Amino acid sequence: MTKEDFIKEVEKRFNLKLEISSDIKGSRAVYKIKGTEVNNESYFYIKESKKGKPFWGFTNTIIGRLDKAKCSYFLVLLSNENNYCFSSDKVIELCQKLSYSEDGDFKLTLSYLGDYDNCKLDFDILFDQIKNSTEIIGKKEKNIMDKCQVVSDIVNAFKTKYCNYSETAQAFLETTIGAAIFYVYNLNDDQWWEEKVIVSEAALKAKEFCPDHIVPRKKASSLLLDKASKKELTKDDIYNLLVEKFCKIIYLTKKENASYKDKKIEGKDLENLFSFDTLKKMYKEHKEPIELTKIEKEDFDKKRKPKKSNKKKT
């Protein structure tokens, strides 16, 4: 099946419209799914094998952007023999099993997909797959916002009492709210700086990558309580602060991460904190200086991920 045939069949059979996406940058192979029964953003990432034995390559960068968008998406592999449609969870599973080629793509042959017969393209169930996937994404988003509501209720309720607590009680409340932030959802973002990953030189050399929240959770808690003392925080305020400030991470070695827990970050620092030059200076001025650098996501994943074989299965 060709890409054109797939698009025509989807549009005709399900009364949907597929358009090349302007939201997911870097690929004309990503199509946005539009239709009255598709409630959330959904995409097809379509790769076609045109000649000879089926062979596909799909790009880690594009998968990363789709994952980061928190959207519903499907990887569609088309050929003159078998065709496949992988939901996002199956794509993640594939990525964990495959190794990279030199150009940063994941390469697949038909023989490798022997264990994925259940992912063969089936138009009879495809529309239900799309609907179910968008409903799952919608439920996840609702769960996130429900948890943000709880965090906002906590900080608004304790904003006055916090100032009158002992240091021990303040630290305990900060830890409690920090734990709540952790369980809101995995909103951690390591590609927030121009889609590059910031790592320490030592972590790169040792190939040991320990995620480090630029704003530690206890510090995030105290900053939330401080903001709530000036203005009551809504669930949207909490969500935006988590995404834009408190869930941004870089990577250090375990030793570096353990040594730098006492970051002196104030509320006024937040607006200027998230630039590479500012962070580089802050980490270098630590009592045990940490040198930061930035690398492409593909290069980072290659260094972090152990080599695995994509050999044909017999």
For residue 243, give the DSSP letter. I
pTM above 0.95, yes or no: no
Give the 3-state secondary structure of residue 30.
Answer: strand
CATH architecture of 3-121: 3-Layer(aba) Sandwich (3.40)
For residue 274, give the DSSP letter. S
Q: Among residues 203, 199, 242, which one has the least CA distance to residue 223?
A: 242
Residue 259: predicted pLDDT: 86
**Which CA distances in Å does 199 have to 36, 112, 173, 263?**
43, 34, 31, 17
d(CA 75, CA 26): 16
pLDDT at 38 over 70: no
Residue 314: predicted pLDDT: 42
pLDDT digits (tens, 9 = 90+) for 207-244: 999 999 998 888 899 999 999 999 999 999 999 999 88
Domain range list for the chain: 3-121, 140-304
d(CA 72, CA 97): 21
pLDDT digits (tens, 9 = 90+) for 9-27: 999 998 889 999 888 877 7
Burial class (CB in 10 A: 0-12, 13-18, 19+), 299: middle
